[in-house]
Copies of this chain bind each other. A is one copy, B any other.
Amino acid sequence: MTENVLIREVGLRDGLQIIKAIVPTDVKMAWIRAEHAAGVKEIEVCSFVPARLIPQFADAEQVVAQSLRLPGLTVSALIPNLRGAERGLELGIHKMNYVLSVSEGHNLANVRRSVQESLEDFRRIAHMLRDIPEHQRPILCGGLSTSFGCTIEGDVSEDRVVELAEMLAVAGADEIVVADTVGYAGPAAVQRVFKRVLAAVGVVPVAAHFHDTRGLGLANAVAALNAGVRLFDATLGGLGGCPHAPGATGNVVTEDLAFMCETMGFQTGIDLRQIPAIRAMVAAALPEERMAGAIGVAGLPKNYQPVHLTT
């Protein structure tokens, strides 16, 4: 029985949001098309933050419109607030990723609101979506940043993570993302927290979003897989990172995570043989950025075989 693991590319959002150089729309689309062709089924293509805050996403409308033409692709975007959700709805994105931080200090620094205010905004978005006919309604995803610790506050309560996950699910989240935004998680905490969140939110799917800041990204992914998680965010070449840790690695590397899942017998649907060309293309467009990841350097093992569903 081959199980699927869904790896969602978030490099165009989490990777590009901290990069100063504006990546041309054509390059973004070449990246999206290439990953789609390689079998990536869900891509977070942009963030609906105002362009004056992050000019990188000034072309959000064009990127979304062009991405929606790719057959079978789930097109998602980060929506910072109700206004972002309205924009996403107008454009017809498939999935909206709303994020709040478990840590008050981080939420305040990130979106200048209390966690309570962020929750209320989430409820307003869920309420707005409730009136839309089901076949047109985007998937609403509720994300919990700093679920394993916070660069501002340090420890984060695991009880609070579980409580907030439940509150998001009750408020109408179709999916929960539990995120180690700052790279503080270890495998033991990951297994504990994901088991509790999975049990708490019932049938709502739970995804893991890990950063590799302290090298434990894939180790944490093993722990999450052991806890039953089958949805992961990742970025090509590990793009992304933390403005507070210069030179540190960014998100978990899409291709390394996919390779790991395949060694464990999970099917990702991603053709890893197409990755080197995509990496080269993105690296050429981002000469200032260091691409992380081991598969991209060492290549696939001699005995590598992609996992295919027998169905």
Contacts and interface: CB of A to CB of B under 8 A. Distances in A.
A301 B303 CA distance: 38
A298 B218 contact: no
A212 B151 contact: no
Interface in A162-201: 182-189
A219 B260 contact: yes
Interface in A236-284: 242, 245, 247-249, 253, 256, 259-260, 262-265
Contacts of A150: 302
A294 B184 CA distance: 12
Interface string A202-229: 0000000000111110110111001000
Interface string A298-311: 11111100000000
A262 B215 CA distance: 14
A247 B295 CA distance: 11
A11 interface: no
A259 B221 CA distance: 16
How many chain A residues sit at the interface, stated as a range, is 35 or more
Contact of A219 (B188, B221, B265): B221
B256 A214 contact: yes
A154 interface: yes
A80 interface: no
Interface string A19-54: 000000000000000000000000000000000000
Interface of A: 149-151, 154-155, 182-189, 212-216, 218-219, 221-223, 226, 242, 245, 247-249, 253, 256, 259-260, 262-265, 293-295, 297-303
6 contacts: A149-B301, A188-B263, A214-B295, A215-B260, A218-B219, A249-B298
